[in-house]
Amino acid sequence: MYLDMEGKRISAKPGQSMLDLIRELDLDSGSLKTRPLAAKLAGEVFTLNYIPVREQDACADRPSIRRAMVASGGQVHLLRYGDEAGKECYLRTAWFVIYLALRQLWREAVCKTNCTLGSSMYVEVKNAENFSVSVLKERIAELVRQDIPLIRRRVPLQEAADRYASDGQTDKARLLKWRAQDYFDEYAYEDFADYYYGEMMPSTGYLTVWDVLAADGGFVFVYPDDQDPDTLAKVPSMPNFFSVFSEGERWCTLMECETVADLNDLTEGGKIRELIRVNEALHEKRYSQVADMVCQRGARAVMLAGPSSSGKTTSANRLATQLRVRGKKPILMSLDDYYIDRDKIAPGPDGKLDLEHINTLDCDLFREDLAKLLAGEEIEIPTFNFLTGRREWRGHKMKLTPDSVIIVEGLHGLNPAMLPKDVEPNLIFRLYVSPLLPLNLDNHNRIPTSYLRLLRRIVRDYESRGASVQRTISMWDSVRAGEKRWIFPYQENADVIFNSSTLYELAVLKKHIFPLLTAVQPEDACYEQVRGIVKILNYVREADVDDEIPPTSLVREFIGGNSFYRK
């Protein structure tokens, strides 16, 4: 069968791997920026150890061409670190090497992938006597030098569960109890086996750019830089962000729900309703604390920002309610109303409008309006008509009273460019909202924040806008790129970072989303992203408890029934 790799045509012989073909075409590279790490065929991602044409089957008279090869028509897209799927392969390989090294050095250690800090990951380490980051780095480097092939194997489910249980990895054994299939895929080396729910690079030698830094209670693994993968990313100090994750860990302990297996046990035992009530009470307590901070400072404007599907609208309304309790008169504003007319936005190099760019907002007008409001003047607020793509003036006047507090919600709410020059700092309160889910699949597999946000967005787009899974996912890369440029650089500047995740929502969202996801076919361009979601949800027990979720809950913003949207 003939394959097309980056414009080069090659005949795939039976038994040849993708890596064999890449080397034959001289497409391999010593640079992480240009080196192929995985391959995409139709909608699926495959390891470079994948063999597109099998050797002759025992009962067949010709080689067997793999289904994905047929679906792709021979078109192979090579993935590099600059591709999200390529980066994920790199990081999965890193986790295998890291946890293999930890296992070899400190066999009794309990290690947990904890939270992302910029382009790095914090790993918690317990029960590791004389733990040393320098010793760990030396062992990781040695495993990379050995260039160990990474071949996935399939084993009977019960065999894997029993082995993990006897090895002290009870978190994995408990998780496998909820797996529907009777097999389990894993990677192994000597007596160590693990799996990270996706493809990996061909061998440990591909792990060329990395670092390990000492941190309280563990270490930080540093990724390559997204823009220049041949160099290490910078690790900014993020004490506020780390503090919120630590708070989330305490919530997990309080609610006895640290992993998906814990969540499933609560669901099966009928205790998920109590989990919902406690989680919602914790959120309400936190909104109350934020309102106290706003009042104590004497702030007149709350700038509220957060990434897509973080629950900004519900957060703005719930904060407004708490401010009302304290005798304030909150006024809700949206930066969306300060969009400039669509026909006045210059398209980007790709010919498309970048609606995440700060230049799509009339920043000058907003700064002027905010300055006037804070000075006690009356202004007229514009309204953006999303149907016509134009800004309109409908006589919406606004003026602050002595008890007024403005809550300004928008993507660019924390950007300093939105504030008037020489504004009194105490008059502005910065609030960052994001669902920083502390729930892990198991100790070695965390559930990314972006995963939960994408789930929320898929459900909301389908339920309220009739959008397909494919359409929502097709826009996700653009959304994420805008967040990395315009939101994440300013998140640490917030006065408060509010964790808008709930520990119960995976079990609730599954009911709304699973049939939509399983209908996506391998030929769809978004199949790999959908498969990644399904792999996690396969372990989650569905909970039919929507009636327990209050109408003001953040989760209601996505599954429907949110009282703040009623007119």
Q: What is the mean pLDDT of residues 49-62?
A: 66
pLDDT at position 477, please?
A: 85
Q: Which of 340, 117, 349 is nearest to 242 (CA)?
A: 117
pLDDT at position 538, please?
A: 94
Q: What is the mean pLDDT of residues 448-465?
A: 89
pLDDT at position 466, please?
A: 85
Q: How far is CA 398 from the centre of its chain?
A: 38
pLDDT at position 522, please?
A: 84
- Mind listing the pLDDT tens digit for each residue in 208-261? 999 999 999 999 999 999 999 999 999 888 888 888 888 888 889 888 999 999
Share above pLDDT 70 across residues of the chain, in percent, rounded to a whole number: 97
pLDDT at position 57, please?
A: 45
pLDDT at position 66, please?
A: 62
Half-sphere exposure (Cβ direction) of 165: Cα atoms closer than 13 Å: 11
Q: DSSP states of 334-354 as a string?
A: EGGGGBPPGGGSPP-TTSS--
pLDDT at position 56, please?
A: 59
Q: What is the mean pLDDT of residues 334-342?
A: 94
40 falls in which pLDDT band (50, 70, 90)? Answer: very high
Which structure tokens are listed for 393?
A: 């003036």
Q: What is the mean pLDDT of residues 131-158?
A: 97
125 falls in which pLDDT band (50, 70, 90)? Answer: very high
For the chain, which residues make up each domain, given as ranges? 2-80, 86-222, 239-565
- Mind listing the pLDDT tens digit for each residue in 357-405? 898 999 999 999 999 999 999 999 999 998 899 999 999 999 999 999 9
Q: How far is CA 502 from the centre of its chain?
A: 15
Share above pLDDT 90 across residues of the chain, in percent, rounded to a whole number: 75
Averaged confidence pLDDT in the chain = 92
27-30 long-range contacts, CB within 8 A, separation 24+ = 27/78
Q: What is the mean pLDDT of residues 424-433?
A: 96
pLDDT at position 463, please?
A: 86
Would strands 211-215 and 440-442 be described as parallel, antiparallel, or unpaired? unpaired
pLDDT exceeds 60 at position 282 = yes
Which structure tokens are listed for 534?
A: 């399904």
**Coil/strand/helix, residue 194:** strand
Half-sphere exposure (Cβ direction) of 295: Cα atoms closer than 13 Å: 18
Per the CB < 8 A criterion, the answer to whether 455 and 509 are in contact is: yes
pLDDT exceeds 60 at position 63 = no
pLDDT at position 225, please?
A: 96
Q: What is the mean pLDDT of residues 489-498?
A: 93
Per the CB < 8 A criterion, the answer to whether 428 and 303 are in contact is: yes
pLDDT exceeds 70 at position 59 = no
pTM to 2 decimals?
0.90
| Residue 440: φ, ψ to 5° | -105, 155
113 falls in which pLDDT band (50, 70, 90)? Answer: very high
Q: What is the CA radius of gyration of the chain?
A: 25
Q: Which CATH class is domain 239-565?
A: alpha beta
pLDDT at position 334, please?
A: 94
Q: Which CATH class is domain 86-222?
A: alpha beta
pLDDT at position 566, please?
A: 67
Q: What is the mean pLDDT of residues 341-362?
A: 84
pLDDT exceeds 90 at position 550 = yes
* More confident of the two residues 67 and 50: 50
Q: What is the mean pLDDT of residues 551-567?
A: 88
CA dihedral 395, 401, 404, 406 (to 10 degrees): 40
pLDDT at position 567, please?
A: 55
| ∠ Cα 441 96 167 (to 5°) | 70
Q: Which of 444, 451, 475 is nearest to 535 (CA)?
A: 451
Per the CB < 8 A criterion, the answer to whether 328 and 433 are in contact is: no
pLDDT at position 58, please?
A: 37
Q: Which of 328, 550, 307, 500 is nearest to 409 (CA)?
A: 307
65 falls in which pLDDT band (50, 70, 90)? Answer: low
